[in-house]
Structure 1
Amino acid sequence: MAKRPNSNLAKIHRSYTVEEVADLFSVHKNTVRAWIKDGLAINDNKRPLLILGSSLRGYLQAKRASNKHKCLPHEIYCLRCKTPKCPAENMVDYEAINASNGRLIGICPCCNSIINKYLRGDQIEHIRGKLDITLPKALKHINESSKPLLNSDFK
């Protein structure tokens, strides 16, 4: 069973019964009936209920679009709360993945879970005013140290 039905499976010039829609999207008949109660348009109130393919496709596309949450540049989407949030105390850590990409790691202010946002390195400057970003410090190489450790072989 697919989590999100692919709306392109519905042919727009065809009429479907509840059972045919259920078979098409591999869902239960009661799921299709719940879609009808939720606003899926039917052809008429006579039995068997007929659903136009164009209205079925439109309903599924609208349902998918309503579930999307657009984050502002300084927000991070929390998977537990299912909403975009500003990190707790506007503090995030930047972890470089490679030379051009990285991720912001913060804490959700509501549920205290870890929230992540992947971004390009040049996008950091756009959100630096809104968030307090902690960049990693480069470790000093032992060769460049003025006072090497006692057990090192470097002079």
Structure 2
Amino acid sequence: MKKQHPNHRHVKIHRSYSVEEIAKLFSVHKNTVRSWLKNGLTTVDNKRPMLIHGQTLYSFLQVKRVKHKRPCEPGEMYCVRCRSPKAPAGDMAEYQSKTDTLGNLVAICPDCEAIMNRRVCLSKLDEFRRYMDISIPQALKHIVESTQPTVNSDLL
């Protein structure tokens, strides 16, 4: 099962939640919410049932999410396997266009040799060229522009 991070945007800030309600809201176990309480999430008071104000829960989850972010510098790409930003192997990357203005930089991690991706805007591609050699593959527009015949051709 894929590990999901609780989305702080699901919290209503003007409401108080019990431990069970928070667990149900984020589809996590009650013990997960109790561990959040041990790690700094505060309750309204020390009485039972334990109630957590929505604004407090919202802030706690937002801080927790920001703490775990690993921002990349302009010359770096994030390796999911290594869980850290790194410069690509050989300082080489390939730009794969997704739309007219947006695409992905695809490279290989120097440590684990996994594929790394980074979404970039075509207009900002020159900023990345200072740090790495970027190739942009050009596809042939028509099949007749190819110098080698295709397998599905009767023109042999």
Q: Give the TM interval when normalised to the shorter protein.
A: 0.7 to 0.9
Residue in structure 2 matched with residue 85 of structure 1 by the alignment: 86
Deviation of 1:2 after TM superposition, in Å, equals: 8.3
User: Match for residue 47 of structure 1?
Assistant: 48
Distance in 1 between residues matched to 2:101 and 2:77, nearest whole Å: 20
Describe the shift of the 1:15–1:72 C-alpha distance in structure 2 as closer, same or farther (beyond 3 A).
same
Partner of 1:107: 108
On the 8 A contact 1:91/1:106 being kept in 2, the answer is yes
* Cα contact 1:2–1:25 (8 A) shared by 2: no
Length-normalised TM-score, structure 1: 0.75
The TM-score normalised by the length of structure 2 is 0.74
Structure 1: which 5+ runs fail to align?
Answer: none
The Cα shift of 1:14 comes to 3.0
> Quick one: distance in 1 between partners of 2:66 and 2:37?
18
Q: Tell me the distance in 1 between the aligned counterparts of 2:139 and 2:10.
A: 52
Give the distance between the partners of 2:23 and 2:99, measured in 1 at CA. Answer: 45
RMSD: 3.3
Count of residues in Structure 1 that have an aligned counterpart in Structure 2 = 149
Q: Alpha carbons of 1:2 and 1:109: their partners in 2 closer, same or farther (altered >3 Å)?
A: closer
Q: In the TM superposition, what is the alpha-carbon distance from 1:66 to its structure 2 partner?
A: 2.2
Consecutive aligned runs of 4 or more in structure 1 exceeding 6 Å deviation: 141-144
Does structure 2 conserve the Cα–Cα contact (< 8 Å) formed by 1:76 and 1:84? yes
Contact 1:90/1:131, CA 8 A, preserved across alignment: yes
Letter aligned with residue 110 of structure 2: P
Q: 1:134 to 1:45 in 2, by over 3 A?
A: same
Identify the residue that residue 125 of structure 1 maps to in structure 2: 126
Is the Cα contact below 8 Å between 2:74 and 2:131 reproduced in 1?
no
Amino-acid identity (%): 48
Matched-pair contact (CA < 8 Å) for 1:93–1:133 = yes
- Distance in 2 between residues matched to 1:19 and 1:101, nearest whole Å: 43
Task: Write out aligned runs for 1:9-88 (5 A).
Answer: 9-88=10-89
Please tell me the residue identity of whatever aligns with 2:117.
N
SS in 2 for 1:102: strand
1:133-152 Cα deviation digits (max 9, x unpaired): 2343676x9988xxxx9xxx
Residue identity in the other structure for 1:26: S
Gaps of 5+ in 2: 150-154
What are the superposed Cα offsets for residues 65-84 of structure 1, whole Å, 9 maximum, x if unpaired?
A: 22333222221111212222
